[in-house]
Amino acid sequence: MSHYLALDLGAESGRAILGSLSEGKLTLEELHRFSNQPVRLPDGLYWDAFRLFHEIREGLRIAGRHRGLTLSGIGVDTWGVDFGLLDSRGELLANPRHYRDARNNGMMERTFAVTPRAEVFGHTGLQFMQFNSLFQLNAIRLSGSPALDAASRLLFMPDLLSYWLSGVQKNELTISSTSQFWNPAEARWATELFDSLSLPTRLLGEVVRPGTKLGGLLDEIRDTSGLGETPVFATAGHDTASAVAAVPAAGPFSGDAPWCYISSGTWSLMGVELDAPVINARTLELNYTNEIGVDGKVRFLKNIAGLWLVQECRRAWALAGTEYTYNELTVMASGAPPFAAIIDPDAFLEPGSMPERIAAFCARTGQTAPQSAGSFVRTCLESLALRYRQVLESLEEVTSRRIETIHIVGGGSKNSLLNRFVAEATGRPVVAGPGEATAIGNVLVQAIGAGEVDGLEGLRAIVRNSFELERFEAKGAAPEWDRAYEQYLKIVSARG
């Protein structure tokens, strides 16, 4: 039996998860969990990067000193786009900013005033979101921050944490492809964009494929953790890339039964897995993204607000003095009246006062606002399902294939109510699970790098052999969902 440690950092929490692989089956065990909350300072919103690394080291100590494990690998995955800047000595110049930092507001428009939108998309094929790394870098430049002049290397968050573990500075491919300065068609940095925006290309380092061995743990970390010469792998560093690798589909999208995935959590990432990027006028119009996955696959997908809406509602109610568990909210939503209101999930990307903002959206669109916590949550979940239907239709248009099955993976796959809504809204069967897809993908990509697993097909065979899945079927014609979808389209169209 071999053991790998997945260090999986999401938008709300981080975990050190032990993956044990034996005879084609994988088991997982959570060794350490810690919160991941941004820190608001007078000048902006930051990640608490040093505390996160402290918690990572605690996970290593538990594995080595407490459990006495011998690990075959360690790998870090995180959310996309955010980064740290290092000087020539390898020292971090400033704590990494959070992607929801207000400094990014309006930065797309200021960037497009120099480099047109179509030109940026032509080089990168990436969905436009104001927090993409390109816009964050331009924000640093326009702010006059001295960090940019002093920087010699850019490391995305999993690259930075892996560097602190191993001493090796590399840019892993899947996380690099979230930046909006990676060219997926030519497999290189889009240096033309750096030149046009007067950004220093010296920041761009060597890019390595997921599964690449970076090196061993640094001596001091070996001593304190008791883990010895454990290899550190550049796993699929973007958490969505790890999660999509763990989708338990039995064949490629181009096979007899085309499928799509939804990596469901704080964000919903919905798309298909292709052999080559799709970069043209229509995908620009639809604002799709071409990110890189395991084995050189392209994750052709759309970023959707996801369960962020429910998380922010829960946080607002807690601040007001009422604590709900997610399970309690789901039960209340199940009993609430259907289609009390319909919202556009992507209109609520910024934090703060979510129930009030949803109520204001309803007022602007001529709807009665939800009247209870359960009704607010049901509105969020139903609206997400409608958004998924819209994205499903555009995926089918672009690929000219009918998608037969929707795979939902990640923490959101445990929400049976949302899974049922998706099946009813789309009329397609939903296969839910595994819930720990990101950690699974992280571990098994390491195992590919170690030579223990044979590529993406072998990885997915292990997933199917190791974890229980749940299937949700549409119950037939759903005129109530059709009517709701018509209303949803009118609301989205009115927003422009």
d(CA 389, CA 426): 5
Cα 377 to Cα 206, 225, 303, 320: the distances in Å are 44, 43, 20, 17
Structure letter (DSSP) for residue 333: H
C-alpha torsion 408→457→257→279, nearest 10: 80
Task: Report CA Rg, the chain.
Answer: 22
CB burial of residue 327 (10 Å; 0-12, 13-18, 19+):
exposed
Determine the distance from the C-alpha atom of residue 436 to the mean position of all C-alpha atoms in its chain, rounded to a whole number: 13
CB within 8 Å of 461: residues ≥ 6 apart = 24
Structure letter (DSSP) for residue 270: E
* Closest by CA position to 382, among listed 478, 248, 253: 478
Question: 130-133: which pairs have CB atoms within 8 A and are 24 or more residues apart?
Answer: 130/104, 130/105, 130/106, 131/81, 131/99, 131/100, 131/101, 131/104, 132/81, 132/178, 132/179, 132/180, 133/81, 133/82, 133/83, 133/178, 133/179, 133/180, 133/181
CB within 8 Å of 411: residues ≥ 6 apart = 10, 264, 265, 307, 435
d(CA 288, CA 484): 24
Residue found under tokens 């969902």:
481
Size of the chain, expressed as the number of residues it contains: 496
d(CA 107, CA 105): 5
10-41 burial: b if 16+ Cβ within 10 Å, else e: bbeebbbbbbebeeeebebeebbebebebeee
Amino acid at 136: Q
Residue found under tokens 């697993």:
453
Give the residue numbers annotated as catalytic, written as ranges: 239
Partner residues linked to 216 by β-bridges:
231
d(CA 447, CA 429): 31
Partner residues linked to 470 by β-bridges:
432
